[in-house]
């Protein structure tokens, strides 16, 4: 009888490891660098862990290969949505942490949702929040190097 492979949540049984530099395509500003962070990025093929446009390029590469991947904002973090900007009564923030003033540019988390919100403005009555991802509306350029592809034949359930 033939041995059966056991795999959970890995449709294609491959884990990709890669280094990247992420740039704002329009300004050329370096936004992230995996080597400066000290470790490469990883993803399981076919699970939606990374942007589809980036994944489709990486799965065609061989270890050691380098490529440039340009993603328009709609294929990256999406367009900036004005409906994701809203005002909340300031009293909603007056909990046990009243010593810490609210400042534009800081991030807060919604209680009931897994959503990070950036504070845009604070006045006496309201706090204006932005629920857009930080890179929404930005065209991105990835400089990637594929480090390794691991074939996974057994994965603990």
Ordered by start, the domain boundaries in the chain are 14-76+137-151, 82-130
Residues 6+ apart with CB under 8 A from 78: 132, 133, 136, 137
- What is the chain's mean pLDDT, rounded? 87
Q: How far is CA 140 from CA 77, 82, 150, in A?
A: 9, 20, 27
Protein fold of 14-76+137-151: Chitinase A; domain 3 (3.10.50)
Tokens of 85: 């900007």
Coil, strand, or helix at residue 54?
helix
- Write the pLDDT tens digit of every residue in 64-103: 999 999 999 999 999 999 999 999 999 887 655 556 788 9
Tell me the CATH number for domain 82-130: 2.40.10
pLDDT at 154 over 80: no
Are residues 147 and 17 in contact, defined by beta-carbon separation less than 8 angstroms? yes
* Model confidence, pTM: 0.77
Read off the pLDDT of residues 25-76 as tens digits, 9 standing for 90 and up: 999 999 999 999 899 999 999 888 999 999 999 999 999 999 999 999 999 9
Residue 138: the pLDDT is 96
Confidence at 153, pLDDT banded by 50, 70, 90: confident
Neighbouring C-beta atoms of residue 98, cutoff 10 Å: 8
Report the 10 Å Cβ neighbour count for 22.
21
Q: Which residue has the higher pLDDT, 153 or 98?
A: 153
pLDDT at 45: 92
Contacts of 112 (CB under 8 A, 6+ apart): none
Q: What is the mean pLDDT of residues 114-121?
A: 89
Cα 51 to chain centroid distance, Å, stands at: 8
**Whole-number Å distance between alpha carbons of 60 and 86:** 42
| Percent of the chain whose pLDDT exceeds 70 | 85
């Amino acid at each position: 009888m033939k041995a059966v492979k056991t795999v959970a949540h890995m449709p294609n049984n491959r884990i990709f490891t890669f280094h990247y530099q992420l740039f704002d395509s329009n300004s050329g500003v370096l936004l992230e660098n995996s080597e400066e962070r000290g470790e490469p990025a990883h993803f399981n093929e076919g699970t939606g862990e990374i942007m589809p446009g980036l994944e489709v390029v990486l799965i065609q590469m061989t270890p050691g290969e380098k490529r440039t991947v340009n993603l328009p904002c709609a294929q990256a973090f999406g367009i900036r949505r004005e409906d994701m900007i809203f005002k909340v009564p300031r009293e909603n923030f007056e909990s046990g942490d009243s010593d810490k003033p609210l400042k534009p540019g800081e991030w807060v988390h919604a209680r009931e949702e897994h959503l990070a919100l950036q504070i845009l403005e604070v006045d006496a009555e309201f706090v204006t929040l932005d629920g857009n991802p930080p890179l929404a509306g930005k065209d991105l350029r990835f400089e990637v190097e594929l480090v390794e592809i691991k074939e996974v034949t057994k994965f603990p359930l």
